[in-house]
Amino acid sequence: MSAFSHTLQRVAKYVEIYYDVRHLTLAVRAFNFDQFLRTTPNLFTMEIRNIAIIAHVDHGKTTLTDALMRQTGMFAEGESMDSNALEQERGITIYSKNTSAIWKGTKINIVDTPGHADFGSEVERVLRSIDCVLLIVDAQEGPMPQTRFVLKKSLELGLRPIVVINKIDKPAANPDETEEKVLELFMDLGASKEQLDFPVVYAIGREGVAMRKLDDERKDLAPMLDLVLEHVPVASKEGQDALPLRAQPFNLAYDNYLGRLAIVRVVDGTIKNSDTVIVLKTDSTSYKGKVTKLFAFKGINREEVSELVAGDIGIVAGIPEIFIGETIAHSADVAQLPAITVDEPTIELNFLVNNSPFAGREGKFVTSRQIRERLEKELEINVGLRVDFASSSGDTFKVSGRGELHVAILLENMRREGFEVQVSQPQVIIKDIDGVKCEPFEEVTIDVPSESQGVVIQKLGERGALMTNMTQTHNTIRMIFEGPTRGLLGYRNQFVVDTKGEGIMASRVIGFKPYAGAIARRAVGSMVSMATGKALGYSLANLQERGELYIGPNVEVYEGMVIGNTSKGDEMPVNPTKGKQLTNMRASGTDDALNLVPPHPVGIENGLEIMDKDEYLEITPKSVRLRKQFLTETERSRNKRKD
């Protein structure tokens, strides 16, 4: 049978033919084209390009991706890559996400990555699955710390980036200067000659327009998409889908019905539904598995397919023990793909069962077994997280993460799911390298108005940071510091106050360096409740003169709960439940109205910053409280004598 006849037979399954009595002819009633393409993917094999969009936080990655998806018809108006509730609230990308678009007969697989340094592990593993990156740079801010981090990882893998200078409509935007700074950054990072010859496209993501030259017509994103087709290599060479199968998971997901899902890049060969596969682990062992379902990306939605070919990115279900960086093959004889490695965590803290007097009032999941199961589930998809179950004991679990925000996002998700938990103060991870005690150091980039530079330099100097560079643009000062992570923990909240909310602070971990010595992280003491009950306005009006309050009137408190800070001493026991003594005597001015200063409520992120080493942060579905580890003053005094 000829190939053409075989093709017609396959087409005929999806064509409904009927006899038209009026015209005595045969006619086609319906042709289910979508189903036809879905079940016969190799009949019209389209070229595939795989790209990732990388940038510093808030440089416009997701806005640009959303506009691109709308213009290629993959998104309806109002849809966004940031579909997670936390992402929409915070306006940042937390999880890397896959999507795809069709442009001029070519399928473009796109991975939108987070821009915050705490989620750098998401970016690191994604870069191994794609063939090119779109490096987005703000035309006003220029390259920032995370720009350097993600670009360094891309250049090390031999990728040739496309530079997108975004937000060129900003009042202080300087695209030419930004391009020069990007070129300098490429050279600093040791880019090859081929990588230095990077193409540049200018964009306004909010308006959904891109231009090859600044004076070109601002119409749509077609120039950027055309550049992707010109510059990005085809995902698979001819005949690569006939090679023995090799696929590698670079991300994990979870489905309540299908279990663990592996998001894979098919490097060689073809993987089909119901295939029996061999999974080659990174420790050189292997095990068998069976593929139960395959999905490809169509926009942000997944679509079931019968096979995935070389070069494509899709989802494999049915292998419950699969992990990132392993190799999926049909035979154990194939060469294993290089393992995907991510940077180590920098901070650690303890997760504990909530044992406060208010424990169990709001949460559904409060036991150590339930917390353990939740952390085990998180480890399946969060590769930047570590949980040391071996050294954990009873109701305590030691958790390590990439930063305060990384851990705060996990805690926020847990509280929304109904968990109650309390955590200890975050501590940096200390390592012994060649007999030298070392700790993580960060490079901090700060943009502040000129009038705020003095206080910032003073505060960071007290925390062990050294300034390495300073430049001025108009009234904005850019300062670059290097200092220990230990000193920077808890500074962001103070930075906002010192700069009156006008400063921008970004950081990246630059490695482990020798221990920097003693650093005072906390300049205030704790205002600790010595009674249980409801806080009253009369008492709080007197206490607010002694420091900053974290609670308002009519809030329930318990003995040992931290209700504010005080500028004098380490600890000040107070009674916020004390009411006014009523008598029959009246005097002028006695019943004046109380003027309460609005409290500074404790949230998860600022709670991790302001807590002391002898305190816990109590997190429940409706409340976040600070408390002392030992609730009564007697217990705290006894513990201090032991120390």
pLDDT one-digit tens code per residue, 205-261: 889 899 999 888 888 899 999 999 999 988 877 778 788 999 999 888 888 888 888
* Cβ 132 vs Cβ 168: under 8 Å: no
Rounded distance between C-alpha atoms, residue 329 and residue 268, angstroms:
9
Helix (H, G, I), strand (E, B) or coil at 593: coil
Mean pLDDT by 10 residues, the chain (643 residues): 43 45 42 44 67 84 86 76 70 77 88 74 79 90 82 86 92 90 89 90 91 89 92 83 87 83 90 90 86 88 88 90 88 86 82 90 89 87 80 80 86 92 90 88 88 89 89 84 87 83 82 84 82 89 88 91 84 87 62 78 87 90 91 84 73
48-231 maps to which CATH number?
Answer: 3.40.50.300
* Cβ 604 vs Cβ 411: under 8 Å: yes
* Cβ 363 vs Cβ 354: under 8 Å: yes
The pTM (predicted TM-score) of the whole model is 0.79
Beta bridge partners of 564: 527, 549
* Cβ 113 vs Cβ 93: under 8 Å: yes
Rounded distance between C-alpha atoms, residue 565 and residue 493, angstroms:
14
| CB-neighbour burial class of residue 414 (10 A; exposed 0-12, middle 13-18, buried 19+) | buried
Domain 343-401+520-580+595-643 has what CATH class?
A: mainly beta
Q: Dihedral (C-alpha) 348, 352, 358, 360: value to the nearest 10 degrees?
A: 130
Amino acid at 255: D
Rounded distance between C-alpha atoms, residue 70 and residue 342, angstroms:
33
pLDDT at residue 391, as a whole number: 66
Nearest residue to 527 (alpha-carbon basis) of 513, 517, 539, 519: 539
Question: Treating both helix axes as pointing N-terminal to C-terminal, what angle do 453-462 and 491-498 enclose, rounded to 10 degrees?
Answer: 160
Looking at the chain, which residues constitute the CATH 3.30.70.240 domain(s)? 431-514
pLDDT at residue 28, as a whole number: 46
Nearest residue to 547 (alpha-carbon basis) of 496, 498, 493, 599: 599
Taking domain 431-514, whether its CATH number is 3.30.230.70 is answered by no
**H or E stretch including 578?**
none
Rounded distance between C-alpha atoms, residue 325 and residue 251, angstroms:
9
pLDDT at residue 255, as a whole number: 81
* Cβ 302 vs Cβ 315: under 8 Å: yes
pLDDT tens profile 391-406: 666 788 899 988 888 8
Distances (CA, A) of 488 to 56, 463, 610: 20, 7, 12
pLDDT tens profile 415-471: 999 999 999 989 888 888 888 899 889 888 888 888 888 999 998 888 888 999 888
Residue 140 DSSP label: T
CATH topology of domain 240-329: Elongation Factor Tu (Ef-tu); domain 3 (2.40.30)
Q: Can you say how many angstroms the Cα of residue 607 is from the centroid of all Cα atoms in its chain? A: 20
The CA angle 431-435-441, to the nearest 5 degrees, is 40
The CA angle 173-174-179, to the nearest 5 degrees, is 130
Rounded distance between C-alpha atoms, residue 247 and residue 266, angstroms:
4
pLDDT at residue 5, as a whole number: 44
